[in-house]
Structure 1
Amino acid sequence: MASQLPLTARKSLKDAEPLHAAVIKKLEDATGTTGWTFEADGAAIHEALKNDGNLVGRVINQTLTGLVDNIIKLCKKDEMYKEAFVEKITAKKIKFVVTSEGTAYCPGETSFPEGVLLVTIHKEKPWVNVNQTGNKIESQL
């Protein structure tokens, strides 16, 4: 829970919120849709960052920005790619979660349970190659 985080981490998360909205707006513009939401497990990401936990807002922003930039590139390829993406993410929701299962991987892995774009970040590598998050979406459509 965010209230259990140190003040510096909570401030980092709060300061990051305006950028979340701007990045989601870019996603909406690229997909021609509205109503997208974003959710991240800030406490779990903070814990995974260990000594860099107070940068949690920055890490979430960089990961979200990398993801959306890769989605925008995909949507610009052809109208067919954009349509396939929009059809796959019916919930219009992006969610970041942290896992300790399996071998450590980076960047975050994408999946689409119940129409949600789920980004699973391994706790051993929460801030590695974040600009590549979502670069495998095309092969998942």
Structure 2
Amino acid sequence: MLRRADRGAERLERALEGGPIPHDSDTRRALAAAGGLTPGHGRNPARVEETHDVMMAAFMRALNPSETRDDAGTDDGLEEIDLHRTEVSLPDGGQLVLSDLEEITPERLEEAAQVAAEILARRAKDHHS
């Protein structure tokens, strides 16, 4: 039996090295198993190096965070923003509150009121049907 296993191993080795593929089922199954173990794709060395460099850069940023300034956020204009707010009564007794960073013009206010009134009217129809 040992001799039979040696012959099977020799046939498999020859087939793996590119020689003729034997027709016996044991060697074919062994070849299929060996094919299942081989990777489906090769690794691109340039992408591996690029990934390594990006990971190391992120690691170094985590180890050495940027220094924060004591005056961070001052004089950047963010604390000076005015929020414009207007309240409007809708025709059916509803109340619309419109807030914006920009100046609210009467045209924009009227347009927003019309859109809100249309939405409320559609919802009222849905509830009655």
TM over 0.5: no
Q: Which of the pair has the greater relative contact order for Cα pairs under 8 Å at 6+ separation?
A: 1
Instruction: Give the structure-1-normalised TM-score.
Output: 0.26
Structure with greater strand percent: 1
Instruction: Give the structure-2-normalised TM-score.
Output: 0.28
Instruction: Determine which structure has more spread, i.e. the larger CA radius of gyration.
Output: 2
